[in-house]
Amino acid sequence: MELETLSRRIGQWVQTNREEAVELAQCLVRIESVNHPPHGNERAFQHMVAEWLRSEGAEVEVYDIRSVPGLEAHPGYMQGRDYADRPNVVGRFRGEGGGRSLMFSSHADTVHEGRKPWRFPPFSGVIENDKLYGRGAYDMKGGLAASLMAIRCLRDLGVKLKGDVIAESVVDEEYGGSNGALAARLHGPDADMAIIPEPSNLKLYPAHLGGGAWKAAFTGKNGIVFNGEQIVNALDAAVDFVRLLREFGDHLRNRYPAPELWRSSKEAEVATLKIVTGDPNREVTEMSDTGEVRFWIEGYPGMTGDGIIGELWSFYESRLDAFPILRSCRPVITPMIRYLEASALPDDERSRTFLEVAASAGERSLGKPCGEPMGAPFTCDAFMFNLYSSTPALVLGPTGGNAHAPDEYLDIDSYLSLIAWYAELTAEWCGICAMADREVKA
């Protein structure tokens, strides 16, 4: 069957099933699956996804990631998490044979709803002005729902695929986790290509930034000078370290110019997250003897966390004349989370073909070119695919806003477009061996 004919039927199906598609996204948002390191409450969400997959005829497995051989010994594993009642879920729809396989890999967990006020309850799934509000709506339950609805679309249309389609939902992606994605790579199954439905705003992201968070702890000597005592103000040291970090960001940008994929995207940056200092119960005139700076540094493929901190220390030593207090009050720098490595699709024929298929499917479903591929301006668990498995991963997800902030929302029109895009991409990549001549269900 011609792709244009299938595209028309997919578009009709999406419009006919709009209400059901929106209800699925709302349902996922309403199930709290917040990550509370070292714990998380993804269990109910995961079982709901498993039941949905079973209802569609998938071969479903719900498994404890602690049972995956070699997980904790793997170099990509991050210690310190508790995975009791936090299973991974995978569903497989077997094709007729002879085609390429495709996996959709989403994370079940969300960040905490936070302490700042929301316009709507964060787990309500309220819709206003074609926006679906709620924690995780944009990051990334909207993308997960779109992948599930795309699978249902093709099944409702009677499309028989040559290759397998796999949908998985993994735990613990937020807060530097990604052990759920690593467990899934070790457990299998593999696929010829994967899509990570992180919010890409309907852009093709064949690569993504890396990033990590660290804290620099300063210990000074407080008091009041009456007799020539040497006082070291840890807060002054912390403030100067923030200034040094700003200079270090410029240094990294000059030393590591943005690769081509990021020249039209957000470049890697160095950011101060927070300054913590002092005891609020101290006397008004008593200076602090401790200070802490929490900071975030991003990098491109090939850069490592250890390498970045090594460069920071070298830069630190070179700037001590400009920041003399940092000579007498040196920080202890420790990681707050693991460094999440940057990664990219391999530069090979398979990846190039997949990007061509994704772009052509996007143009048919969106009615316009989807734009040139670019580097994602964020970190995600795609590196577990690109660096630690035989399955490369492309990031492609919906439009929305306020990820990790109050009033997070999913743009519903983009969500519906993504369902169509996923369905068309799946059909073209996996190959069609038959399609029923049936009307779209009303």
Task: Please report the DSSP string for 96-160 in residue order.
Answer: SSSS--EEEEEE--B----SS--SS-TTS--EETTEEESTTIIIIIHHHHHHHHHHHHHHHTTEE
Say which of 42, 168, 173, 174 is annotated catalytic: 173
Integer Rg of the chain from CA: 24
pLDDT, mean of each 10-residue run, the chain (442 residues): 86 98 98 97 98 98 98 95 98 97 98 95 97 98 98 97 98 95 97 98 98 95 54 87 98 96 94 83 64 97 97 98 95 95 97 98 95 96 97 98 98 98 98 75 48
**Mind giving me the DSSP string for 145-179?**
HHHHHHHHHHHHTTEEESS-EEEEEES--TTT--H
CB 206 within 8 A of CB 261: yes
What integer pLDDT is reported at residue 225 of this predicted model?
Answer: 45
pLDDT at 438: 58
Using DSSP bridges, classify how beta strands 59-63 and 88-93 pair: parallel, antiparallel or unpaired.
antiparallel
| pLDDT, position 200 | 98
Spatial separation of the C-alpha atoms in residues 58 and 104, rounded to whole Å: 14
SS3 annotation, 286-335: CCCCEEEEEEEEEECCCCCHHHHHHHHHHHHHHCCCCCCHHHHCCCEEEE
pLDDT at residue 232 in the model: 75
A 10 A CB-CB count for 355 gives 17
Residues 6 or more apart whose CB falls under 8 angstroms from that of 204 comprise: 355, 358, 359, 362, 370, 371, 372, 373, 374, 394, 396
109: annotated active-site residue: yes
d(CA 279, CA 222): 12
From the candidates 109, 139, 267, 289, which is the catalytic residue? Answer: 109
Instruction: Specify the pLDDT at position 221.
Output: 73
User: Sign of dihedral through CA atoms 394, 397, 400, 401?
Assistant: negative
Residue 186 has a pLDDT of 98
d(CA 20, CA 27): 10
Per-residue model confidence as pLDDT tens digits over 188-217: 999 999 999 999 999 999 999 999 999 999
The pTM assigned to this predicted structure is: 0.93
Contacts of 397 (CB under 8 A, 6+ apart): 140, 142, 143, 146, 196, 197, 198, 199, 200, 201, 202, 418
C-alpha to C-alpha distance for 11 and 348, rounded to whole angstroms: 32
